[in-house]
Structure 1
Amino acid sequence: MRRLASGASPKPRARDLGLPFPGEAGPFNAITDVAGVAVGYSTVISDSPDSGRGSARTGVTTVLPRGRTGPLRAPVWAGFHSLNGNGEMTGTHWIKEAGYFTGPIGITNTHSIGIVHQSILQWMIERPEAGVGAYKFILPVVGETCDAYLNDMDAFHVAPAHVTEALNSASSGPLAEGNVGGGTGMICFEFKGGTGTSSRVVELLGASYTVGCLVQANFGIRPLLKVLGVPVGEHLTSNRLWVGEQGSIIAVVATDAPLMPTQLERLARRAGLGIGRTGTPSGDGSGDLCLAFSTANLTKSESAAAPAVGDLAFLPNNRLDTLFEATAQSVEEAIINAMVAAERMVGREDKLVTAIDHGALREVMRNYGRLSA
């Protein structure tokens, strides 16, 4: 049984509908198949017309690369790629410079990136084991996509307590998808979108490695939607919302494979290929930002005593193709999982976004000979 947001019911995923995604998924088919990685959510839904604030259809997602009980200050090697830069992910200048980051990742709506950034700092400061204090600092990684169609972003509904909830609830295991956390008010290919996840297990040079991803999917226009290469968007044409590409996607890729920062940047680029497989050209108005990190090569923080010369294990560049394909596959499936799990939503000013119809999706896939069940 998958762990779901409080009060939710189990939802089918893309493979449950018979969509034959390639590759071997991990036991949870989630980013949490990478050992130690934990994910938490806070979902904010409310309507308070007397408060002077618009509807809330938003939230926060947190990804803790080493979990809540792991070494919070220990860095993880990382790489970043911007497929199209009309968006924000903080901390990426240091990732480009030094090849690592420390602490949790936060994902939210565009106007809440500041409060999430500050609240992650506060959460870290309150934990002595994090090693944050006088003369020490961290640069949290916080990404955003815009949920303004369904959510009143100008009302700043996300509060520090929501960030704390997402951090304190972070756990491993199966994950809720769709209208949860930062993905609550998001739209994908003009269907309800949101949070999605997937993973792949690969054999490489005699060892088994896992690649997992989590996406906040909020991009694309309907006619371009493809599922496993099938032009689904050309057939499911009702309840359109707009004519031009807009929105964004945040893709976070985790792996336990030992990789250098330059190799992780290459992995982040392949996340862009997974996004592209769903049909988007990554339009001018879209912020398509990809982050990849590795939990291997655990090292002490720079604030702790460290040897003058460190050792870093890494796979050879000419053997990474398997990881590249696993990344593209898992990102593509995570996006479709987000849409399959999402439910119709009425938001600010009574705007409606419909969910993709599972039966109609199966029928299109069947007509193209791409249904396994």
Structure 2
Amino acid sequence: MTRAAQWRPGPHDAVTDVPGVHVGHVTLDDGADIHTGVTAIVPAGICPGSPLPAGFFSGNGRGKFIGSTQVEELGELESPIVLTGTLSAFRAADALVSWMLADPRHHDVLSFNPVVGECNDGRLSDIRARPVTEAHVLHAIAAAGPGPIEQGSVGAGTGMVALGYKAGIGTAARTGELGGRPCTVGVLALANFGGRLRLAGGAPAAGGRLRLDGREPVAEGADDRRDNGSCVLVVATDAPLDARQLARVARRAVFGMARVGSSYGHESGDYAIAFTVSTEGAVPDAALSPLFEATLDATEAALIGSLLAARPMTGRGNSVPALRLE
């Protein structure tokens, strides 16, 4: 048995399997040309006065990830992580400042680093309308909770497309042991990237293994813009790691996109942020390989989950099919 095989899906197979990590969605879908929303990842007690160790990795930087430079510099996360559509990212960041100012714990805070990731949902949603408001962001944060997470065309993933199919939010978690102690790593993915779909590391899906909404089996996604899009990966763990080690974990999440066929194209913004809820001292680097493998596995599962949970969608004159396993 390999080290990766010793890690199993968590109770909910979700990033919320990591203790204290909560997730909330707000979905905006008018059935016509608005298909967007907000997803908030909220570690319990997160605030400027109690930052968590964190690391960041940019696989291809053609995108916006607000707050990433301070995470890289200080190795700290002091904000909920909010995901949304590209042109709503700046309103989301401002809403996080409002969240901070309204909390009595922060009455003397004069500087704050809001963290917001985005993907472009403009193929299916009127992105120029900027329908996401401060109230939507604050509601997603307030609604964040533990347990199972709704996936697919929900929250920030409402209008997202990946590998030619309707995609969106996906999540998975792996539990095992690291350095002799129990450990969980969870991934939440906002999938909106290009490439040719692969399953289980194999060749592009073909041979009747996949069926597209009851049609004949297809070899690849229906989208001919295979290099476009982006992906944001949020990795949470309770493993005792420092910021440098968490940046290494974040890299593995971006590497995990290759397992499902990402092209890492010129127009793709591929990002990962990793944080730990642990307050213990860091484990030795030599012990990290099983965690790296578990992160790859959870990323692959989260990305596939984002596809399988999504529904077909039409918006702005474009129709995107959903992926279905036979």
TM-score clears 0.5 = yes
- Counterpart position of 1:76: 52
- Whole-angstrom distance in 1 between the partners of 2:103 and 2:191: 32
Alpha-carbon spacing, 1:243–1:96, altered in 2? closer, same or farther (3 Å): closer
1:230 Cα deviation from its structure 2 partner = 2.7
SS at match of 1:41: strand
- Whole-angstrom distance in 2 between the partners of 1:41 and 1:78: 23
Contact kept in structure 1, 2:46 and 2:78, CA below 8 Å: no
- Counterpart position of 1:51: none
- Whole-angstrom distance in 2 between the partners of 1:116 and 1:132: 21
Alpha-carbon spacing, 1:26–1:47, altered in 2? closer, same or farther (3 Å): closer
- Whole-angstrom distance in 2 between the partners of 1:215 and 1:189: 14
Q: What does 1:36-51 align with in structure 2 at a 5 Å threshold? A: 36-46=20-30
Match of 1:333 among 298, 301, 314: 301
TM-score, normalised to structure 1, is 0.80
1:313 Cα deviation from its structure 2 partner = 0.5
Alpha-carbon spacing, 1:27–1:238, altered in 2? closer, same or farther (3 Å): closer
- Counterpart position of 1:18: none
1:172 Cα deviation from its structure 2 partner = 0.6
**For residues 339-366 of structure 1, what are the alpha-carbon distances to aligned partners after superposition, in whole Å with 9 as ceiling and x for unaligned?**
00000111123x211100221xxxxxxx
Percent identical pairs in the alignment equals: 39
SS at match of 1:277: helix
AA paired with 2:35?
R
In the alignment, is residue 279 of structure 1 matched against residue 261 of structure 2?
yes
Contact kept in structure 1, 2:240 and 2:282, CA below 8 Å: yes
1:239 Cα deviation from its structure 2 partner = 6.9
AA paired with 1:255?
T
**For residues 134-189 of structure 1, what are the alpha-carbon distances to aligned partners after superposition, in whole Å with 9 as ceiling and x for unaligned?**
x5221111000000000010011111121111111100101000001000000011
- Whole-angstrom distance in 2 between the partners of 1:22 and 1:181: 33
SS at match of 1:84: strand
1:101 Cα deviation from its structure 2 partner = 1.7
- Counterpart position of 1:258: 240
- Whole-angstrom distance in 2 between the partners of 1:239 and 1:281: 13
In the alignment, is residue 183 of structure 1 matched against residue 157 of structure 2?
yes
- Whole-angstrom distance in 2 between the partners of 1:352 and 1:239: 13
Moved beyond 4 Å, runs of 4+: none
- Counterpart position of 2:90: 114
1:61 Cα deviation from its structure 2 partner = 0.4
Contact kept in structure 2, 1:23 and 1:329, CA below 8 Å: no
- Counterpart position of 1:62: 40
SS at match of 2:66: coil
1:112 Cα deviation from its structure 2 partner = 0.4
SS at match of 1:291: strand
1:71 Cα deviation from its structure 2 partner = 4.9
- Whole-angstrom distance in 2 between the partners of 1:94 and 1:277: 30
- Whole-angstrom distance in 2 between the partners of 1:244 and 1:29: 29
**For residues 103-157 of structure 1, what are the alpha-carbon distances to aligned partners after superposition, in whole Å with 9 as ceiling and x for unaligned?**
200000100001100111112211112x154x52211110000000000100111
- Whole-angstrom distance in 1 between the partners of 2:176 and 2:220: 39
Gaps spanning 5+ residues in structure 1: where? 1-20, 49-54, 298-311, 360-373
Alpha-carbon spacing, 1:180–1:47, altered in 2? closer, same or farther (3 Å): closer
Provide the aligned C-alpha RMSD in A.
Answer: 1.7
- Whole-angstrom distance in 2 between the partners of 1:234 and 1:139: 45
In the alignment, is residue 319 of structure 1 matched against residue 294 of structure 2?
no
TM-score, normalised to structure 2, is 0.91
In the alignment, is residue 198 of structure 1 matched against residue 176 of structure 2?
no
In the alignment, is residue 33 of structure 1 matched against residue 5 of structure 2?
no
- Counterpart position of 1:302: none
AA paired with 1:39?
V
- Counterpart position of 1:8: none
SS at match of 1:81: strand
Contact kept in structure 2, 1:91 and 1:101, CA below 8 Å: no
AA paired with 1:266?
R
Gaps spanning 5+ residues in structure 2: where? 208-217
Contact kept in structure 2, 1:109 and 1:147, CA below 8 Å: yes
1:285 Cα deviation from its structure 2 partner = 0.7
Contact kept in structure 2, 1:22 and 1:329, CA below 8 Å: no
SS at match of 2:110: coil
- Whole-angstrom distance in 1 between the partners of 2:266 and 2:206: 22
AA paired with 2:252?
R
Bigger proportion of residues as strand: 2
- Whole-angstrom distance in 2 between the partners of 1:231 and 1:137: 49
In the alignment, is residue 358 of structure 1 matched against residue 315 of structure 2?
no
AA paired with 1:213?
V
In our comparison, the structure showing a higher alpha carbon Rg is 1
- Counterpart position of 1:296: 278
AA paired with 1:318?
A
- Whole-angstrom distance in 2 between the partners of 1:259 and 1:348: 45
- Whole-angstrom distance in 1 between the partners of 2:131 and 2:175: 38
